Structure 1
Amino acid sequence: MSVTVREPTTGTPSRQPVKTYRPELQGLRALAVLMVVVYHVWLGRVSGGVDIFLLVSAFLLTGSFVRKVEGGKPLHLVKYWLHLFKRLLPGVVVVLLAILVATALLLPRTQWEEVFSQTWASLFYFQNWELAASSVDYYATDHSAASPLQHFWSLSIQGQVFILWPLLFAGSAVVSRFLKTRFRTVLTVVFSTLFAASLAFSAWETATNQTFAYFDTRTRLWEFALGSLLALTLPYLNFNRVLRVILGWVGFVGMLSCGIVLQVEAEFPGYIALWPLLSAACIMVAGQSGSRFGVDRVLTFKPLVRMGDNSYALYLWHWPLLVFWLVYSEQSAAGFMDGAVLIGVSILLAILTTRLVETPVRSWTWASTRRHRMGIVVAVSVALVAAPLSGWQYQVNAEEQAVASQSSEDNPGAAALEPGFEYLGTPDAALKPLISNMGGEWADYDGECKGIWEPTNPVLESCDYMGNPDTATRTIVALGDSHTQQWMSAMGPVARANNWLVILIHKPGCRYAAPTPESTPECNEFNEASKAYVMERTPDAVFTVATRTEHSSPEETLVEGYEEGVQGFLDAGISVVGIRDNPRFEFPMPECLETNGVDSPECNLPRSQVLAEESPLVALGASMPKVGTMDMSDKFCIDDICPGAIGNVYVYMDLDHLTQSYLETMLDDFGARFGQATGWASVAKIPVP
């Protein structure tokens, strides 16, 4: 695919000579990546340096393509893309392979699936979308360490733009030829429109869903568009030396101060990101001032320029080294000395990767002369990661299938608590579920709410059902947070066996109750909307978690505002069931058991440390006798111990959420107690699967 357009020979549009190499830009890139590294390692904050990197990339990319088109050269897009990824992938491959090795050695199996999916996403440049999806997933925060691949989000956006921008150049060249208009004019219109649209969308999405917006390609396009507009207009800017010196230092100070003054990770990428980008733009406009007082004297300092040559590899290495060091040292942040060592090792690995991998591949004549040869290099690079990753995933999946095929005798779960129980399973049967599959231990729904059960209030974003809406004889609406959601693994099978319909309306971190000053405005609004939803549809029963436990503490209280929150349901003749909260821990239980053993005292804590001696449900039952209560704590705590595994089944999938595998071993007991709490006498018995 190639496009050739010859510009009219009406004189050069530039009032400054075109410079294809500007050492101050390499210094700027080095400064930007050093800001990223220093802020990550020592300050635990985001600097805005990544945004500057994106700006400079678009600036250089645009200048290169404009020179091609104005020189009448074909674009050869396919060749460009192959050459680009031939240059980018070798360093990525080295770092990804190192991350896989470190994952196997240092990370718990609970994080393997995340690393698998994010490695694929990083390799194929869609890691930002992978993170965008998990950033709005409350349960993604249950991991004990940040992802060692998290920093690939910006590289993924950059890779996507490196595919999109050449298409815009090619399309603009065709339009330019058709309209007999200058190529730069068409590009200016295209990128101005893209800049305005993306910036407006970025400001809106950042205000409404900042965690998703941070990784959204669409919210970052304006940053690239600004770099392209700068490349198009810079030849027409001719400031005097004094003004360029002033611009350079203003940009330098603004760039360095951004991450200190702004909480970048909480406010970007909306219009606030103009701060670091306009600062960098000032430096780029200042260019080579020719003054000994200009900021370019700093940016062209040879060690800094050489650092710019290694900036890509430095960005690749610094984050996984930091994450794995924190995991190994069991720290939440690096100190001054170990942080300095981390930065030093990152720089060393960056230099080695550039010299031994990136530069040889980039300058390899054989691979650069033919498109199919470049394609071979790209394919081999991908295969070097895909092959071991696929093999590892296959092995883990085979283990998961083997565990899933074990019988109920191998993994009796709660059945092991029955009087006279005798274990008849295989002596060496594995704990269920496999620890690497904990992410799949949430309930399976039959679909999203539809018909009369579909919420009309946009505040109720999450609504799922279990059962048959068309034939159900009773309807139960479950309200609350993830601790309500976890019980759907038991409620769902019970509902299906009894031909009931269960509707789950939930919001992570928002337990159902009447609005209180202690709750966030968003939670109060959600609970008000949940109450209105129930009152409009009048189901047969409402299911909630009525108490709140604390991590590794016997403190347990009735949910603030609970009584007021359910009174309206009772007045409307709707049954209310409040279940007791389960114990919570300060550590991920599966990882504790994997590290210390199933019978270790570090994981099997005394009941007195994690659960109150008397449930607040006792007082609730006395004050509101119409509320049915359920206390399942006898299924989590045996005598005076609350173990992490019972009957060869993990009880908890993380710090405080129950596994689907364990809940499915207590269905009959759960159904009987729910029937007693509602007064629904005939509840079908459900055998253990």
Structure 2
Amino acid sequence: MQASRQGSRISTRTDAPSQGLRGGPTRRTEIQGLRGLAILLVVGFHLWGTGVSGGVDVFFVVSAYLLTLSFTRKAESGKPLDLLHYWSRTFVRLLVPVGIVLLSVLVAAIAFYPRSRWEALWEQLLAAATYRLNWNLAERSVDYYAGGGVNSSSVQHMWSLAVQGQVFVIFPLLIALALLVARWTNRSFRTVAVVVFGAVFVVSLTTSVLVTRLDPAPNYFDTRLRLWEFALGALVALVVTRPLPRRLAVVLGWTGLVAVVSTGFVVGPNALFPGWVAIIPTVGAALLLMAKDDGGDHGAHVPLRVRWLTWIGDRSYGIYLWHWPMMITYLLRTGAQDVPIHVGLAIFGLSVVLSLGTEQAVAFVTRPRSAKQKASTRRELVRLVAVVGVVALPVTAAQAWTDSRARAQASYERTAENYPGAAVPAGTYDETALPDLEPIPMWSEVNAEWGSPGEACTEEQLPDSFQDNSECFVYEPETQDGGTGEGAEPQRTVVLLGDSHAKQLSEPLKAVADEQNWRVVSYLYPACRYAGETEGNTEECNRFNAAAQEAVLELEPDAVIAQGTRSTMDGDREELVANWYEGVEPFEDADIPVVSVRDNPRWDRDMYECVDLYGEHSPLCSDSAEDALSGQEIVDAWGEENPGVPLVDLTDLYCPDGHCGPVVGNVMVYRNMDHITRTFGLTTAPVLEERLLDALHW
């Protein structure tokens, strides 16, 4: 898409699609109005809508129409096409505002974006500056249909500029080919060009309809599946050469206007572009171009020529460039899921203001040194290389800086000195010596971060009454030579009861078992906190808890560990497990010591995703300990309801200095919304050992 402020006459110059419509014999202000309408649809749907507006497809048709019209006049008048001059001048005018926006995004990314986004963004900035961003996004299978949420790249919208830039190379070559064939065969240029672009239209549209539904995400960005939209604009320029009858022009114009405006509202968010659905906005734009102003006072060109709309159309290119990165940055910094009306209006207004600034930059770069001087092709090529270089050099420098940071990160061994985790809040590590490193484990390693309670129970060890989903594990402590204690009987046997939050305790508990020579037996059931029979639990959960209670009494261990509190994402954020004491009272009656371990905070978003989107220090990924859990209140309530049962509390490790965040001591605390990573859990082992021994008086 493109725009400028220079006016609205059809240009005989070959750079008309990118820099406005001035010069030439026929004034077509309705085309600028159509551009203004298209950009309003694009921005409106990006800010507040869902799905695709069809506005970008309108720009494709219009740009090809103007390009073809300009070259056709040259071809039929016998003037040289001068492709090299066209390309150099057009891309200079297009790339100056693009470069300004890309450099602004670069600065914003370094200042505001999390480091996890940098590597992909630097690559996309370079791709945008060289008109290949659409292929970059296709390779990454970016889902454009997911909308402009915070997961989107801040330059993702420039895919359309890449497609259009590629067409600005391809279509002039096709026109040159048509001109050569016409001369060789002694046929008219228009006849040959209609055949060429008609073939492009049929092949591309057919392929688009067949292929888009098979793999819509990457195909959305495929230039080959978009060529038919441009070919449609080219065909209109080649075929419609005479005024239409007034009534026909009125019908075609208003039909086209309705199609353009209604596309985003009619097709819905699940429509797959650029398949057959893209016919609606593109044919609508083609009908408007065909109708021109032949409908007289009742034609659709009348509302399109409203001054404020054509004024917006003059600046549509800059508005398009600026609105998207500002929207993504707003969502990124605020954590909002959508854009409020007043913020969206401010983004639009600022986009208009910034577009005026980029216009001045284009005028400055492309202005001849004197009034009589005409820019030569060589000078335009130098300018083009300079514009690309101005963008590429700082982005390449940022890329090299990012790579050097990554190499430095990789050079650090995964030792307790570099990644101390809970040792920092425990006071056994000097926080001032903590190196500035990316936290571990990395997102690619998160699937290995579940706790492993040990070997699955043998048939003899498995309680008879356990169900299919019941889990039973036995961990034998390692001897000093690295083997298991098969020959030497463990000093004690400890049973761990509960759900996945108990399971995540198994890693630090195994480390304690190795130090203290304990056998650890785990009875676990997914999403089932251990307690007595509870009305709110599922029948399967109550049945498992009863079976686990029976198994513990039969095993007669030296101690039982079960979590008696449960964190939540709303309300008071933490609660006592209902009927917990009823579940452990039989153990106390059998003189089996019982210890509860307090639950960890639970979040309303995946913490890896939060760090990736907003950064580890963002307030969107953290909370105070009082708000993340229930503070001292839950501890007091525990003492009242469970007198004599010690509560081992590790909150000070998860939330050092009363602040609960995603990273402690260069280690990711959470593997998702509420489960502790195995890596961080292991760093809590020394404190867990000390507090368990104290609670059990061992």
TM normalised by structure 1 equals 0.62
Counterparts of residues 159-238 of structure 1 (less than 5 Å): 159-235=165-241, 238=243
Q: Please say if residues 411 and 425 of structure 1, whose CA atoms lie closer than 8 Å, have aligned partners that are also in contact.
A: no
Which residue does 1:490 correspond to in 2?
none
SS at match of 1:74: coil
Once residues 55 and 198 of structure 2 are traced to their aligned partners in structure 1, the CA distance between those partners, rounded to angstroms, is: 23
Distance 1:280 1:96 in 2: 30
Residue 617 of structure 2 is aligned to residue 594 of structure 1? yes
Say if 1:132 and 1:651 are closer, same or farther in 2 by CA, change over 3 A: farther
The answer for the alignment partner of 2:668 in structure 1 is 650
Q: Residue type of the partner of 1:650?
A: M
Q: Does 1:364 align with 2:368?
A: yes
TM superposition shift of 1:43: 2.3
Q: Distance in 1 between matches of 2:245 and 2:297?
A: 15
Matched AA of 1:49: G
| 2:339 alignment partner in structure 1 | 334
Give the letter aligned to residue 153 of structure 1.
W
Moved more, 174-183 or 141-150: 141-150
What secondary structure, in the 3-state scheme, does the structure 2 residue paired with 1:207 have?
coil
- 1:176 shift after superposition: 2.0
1:318 equivalent in structure 2: 323
**For residues 405-437 of structure 1, what are the alpha-carbon distances to aligned partners after superposition, in whole Å with 9 as ceiling and x for unaligned?**
1123356659989xx9986999232334589xx
Change (3 A) 1:174 1:387: same
Q: Which amino acid aligns with 2:245?
A: N
State the match for 2:293 in structure 1: 288
- Preserved contact between residue 48 and residue 264 of structure 1 (Cα < 8 Å): no
Secondary structure (helix, strand or coil) at the match of 2:81 reads coil
Per-residue deviation, 1:260? 0.8
Following TM superposition, by how much is the alpha carbon of 1:286 offset from its aligned partner in structure 2, in angstroms? 0.9
Counterpart for residue 149 of structure 1:
155
Tell me which residue corresponds to 1:297: 302
Using the TM superposition, name which of 168-177 and 589-598 deviates more: 589-598
Corresponding residue for 1:82?
Answer: 88
Instruction: Tell me what 1:34 maps to.
Output: 40
Q: Offset of 1:665 from its aligned partner?
A: 12
**Which AA in structure 1 matches 2:74?**
K
Residues 36 and 600 of structure 1: CA distance in aligned 2, closer, same or farther (over 3 Å): closer
* Cα distance between partner residues in 2 of 1:600 and 1:264: 35
Q: 1:584-623: CA deviations, max 9, x gaps?
A: 8614353463336999757997799xxxxxxxxxxxxxxx
1 CA distance for matches of 2:118 and 2:279? Answer: 37
Instruction: Measure the CA separation in 1 of the matches of 2:257 and 2:165.
Output: 27
Matches within 5 A, 1:220-259: 220-235=226-241, 238-259=243-264
> Given the superposition, is the C-alpha separation of residues 191 and 340 from structure 1 closer, same or farther in structure 2, using an over 3 Å criterion?
same
**Contact in 2 for aligned 1:318/1:343 (Cα 8 Å):** yes
The answer as to whether partners of 1:409 and 1:425 remain within 8 angstroms in 2 is no
**Partner AA of 1:346 in structure 2:** S
Cα separation, 2, equivalents of 1:259 and 1:137:
18
Q: Whole-Å Cα distance in 2 between the matches of residues 603 and 128 of structure 1? A: 47
Matches within 5 A, 1:367-382: 369-382=375-388
CA separation of 1:70/1:439 partners in 2, compared to 1, >3 Å: closer, same or farther? farther
1:110 and 2:151 correspond: no
Deviation at residue 390 of structure 1 after TM alignment: 2.0
1:647-681 residue CA offsets vs partner (Å, 9 max, x unmatched): 6333668869999xx87999xxxxxxxxxxxxxxx
Aligned residues: CA RMSD: 4.3
Q: 1:309 to 1:648 in 2, by over 3 A?
A: closer
8 Å CA contact 1:55, 1:223 repeated in 2: yes
With over 3 angstroms needed to count, the CA separation of the structure-2 counterparts of 1:306 and 1:595, relative to structure 1, is: closer
Question: C-alpha distance in 2, partners of 1:45/1:369?
Answer: 43
Tell me which amino acid in the other structure corresponds to 2:361.
V
Structure 1 residues 415, 256: closer, same or farther in 2, change over 3 A? closer
* Structure 2 CA distance for partners of 1:402 and 1:148, relative to 1, 3 Å: same
**Structure 1 residue 352: deviation in Å?**
2.8
The alpha-carbon distance between structure 1 residues 413 and 142, as it changes in their structure 2 partners (threshold 3 A), is farther
Residues in 1 aligned to 2:163 and 2:205: alpha-carbon distance in whole angstroms: 16
Structure 2 residue identity aligned to 1:65: F
The count of aligned residue pairs is 490
In structure 1, what is the Cα distance between the partners aligned to 2:123 and 2:440? 17
- Report the Cα distance in structure 1 between the residues aligned to 2:345 and 2:264, rounded to whole angstroms: 20
Separation (CA, whole Å) in 2 of partners of 1:166 and 1:369: 21
Runs of 5+ unmatched residues, structure 2: 1-23, 449-566, 575-601, 632-649, 683-698
* Identity between Structure 1 and Structure 2 (%): 37
Question: Runs of 5+ in structure 1 lacking a partner?
Answer: 1-17, 445-549, 556-582, 609-635, 667-689
**Within the alignment, does 1:344 sit opposite 2:349 as a pair?**
yes
**In 2, Cα distance between the equivalents of 1:79 and 1:309?**
24
CA contact (8 A) 1:589 1:655 kept: no
Query: Taking structure 1 as reference, are residues 321 and 394 closer, same or farther at Cα in structure 2, changes over 3 Å only?
Result: same
Q: Secondary structure at the match of 2:274?
A: coil
Find the counterpart in structure 1 of residue 516 from structure 2: none
Give the Cα–Cα distance (whole angstroms) in 2 for the partners of residues 182 and 306 of structure 1: 38
SS in 2 for 1:399: helix
- After TM superposition, the structure 1 = structure 2 runs for residues 280-679 of structure 1, keeping only pairs within 5 Å, are 280-289=285-294, 291-354=296-359, 356-364=360-368, 369-409=375-415, 427-433=433-439, 586=605, 587=607, 588-590=609-611, 591=614, 593-595=616-618, 644-645=662-663, 648-650=666-668
In structure 2, the CA distance between the partners of 1:101 and 1:434, relative to structure 1 (3 Å rule), is farther
Which residue of structure 1 lines up, in the alignment, with residue 271 of structure 2? 266
1:387 aligns to what SS in structure 2?
helix
What is the DSSP-based 3-state SS (H/G/I as helix, E as strand, rest coil) of the residue aligned with 1:244?
helix
Listed one character per residue, the Cα deviations across residues 50-91 of structure 1 (whole Å, up to 9, x for unaligned) are 000000001111111111111112222221111111111111
**Which one-letter code corresponds to 2:56 in the other structure?**
V
Partners of 2:313 and 2:610 lie apart in 1 by 44
Preserved contact between residue 45 and residue 265 of structure 1 (Cα < 8 Å): yes
Equivalent residues of 1:142, 1:654 under 8 A apart: no
* Letter paired with 2:362: E
Structure 1 residue 169: Cα displacement: 1.4
Matched letter for residue 295 of structure 1: A
The separation in 2 between residues aligned to 1:174 and 1:442, in whole angstroms, is 60
2:9 aligns with none
- Matching residue's letter, 2:264: G
1:503-531 deviation digits (Å, cap 9, x = unpaired)? xxxxxxxxxxxxxxxxxxxxxxxxxxxxx
Give distance in 2, aligned partners of 1:346 and 1:104.
Answer: 21
Provide closer, same or farther for how the CA distance between residues 376 and 658 of structure 1 changes in structure 2, counting only shifts above 3 A. Answer: farther
> Is the contact between residue 175 and residue 186 of structure 1 (CA under 8 Å) also seen in structure 2?
yes
2:581 is matched with which residue? none
User: What is the deviation of 1:381?
Assistant: 1.2
In 2, distance between residues paired with 1:38 and 1:31? 10
Q: Which amino acid aligns with 2:341?
A: F
Aligned counterpart, 1:24: 30
Once residues 142 and 293 of structure 1 are traced to their aligned partners in structure 2, the CA distance between those partners, rounded to angstroms, is 38
Return closer, same or farther for 1:88/1:656 CA change in 2, 3 Å cut-off: farther
CA distance in 1 between counterparts of 2:103 and 2:306 reads 34
Q: Partner letter of residue 169 of structure 2?
A: I
- What TM-score, normalized by structure 2, do the two folds share? 0.61
Pair 1:403–1:424, CA change in 2 (3 A): farther
Contact 1:39 1:46 in 2 (8 A): yes
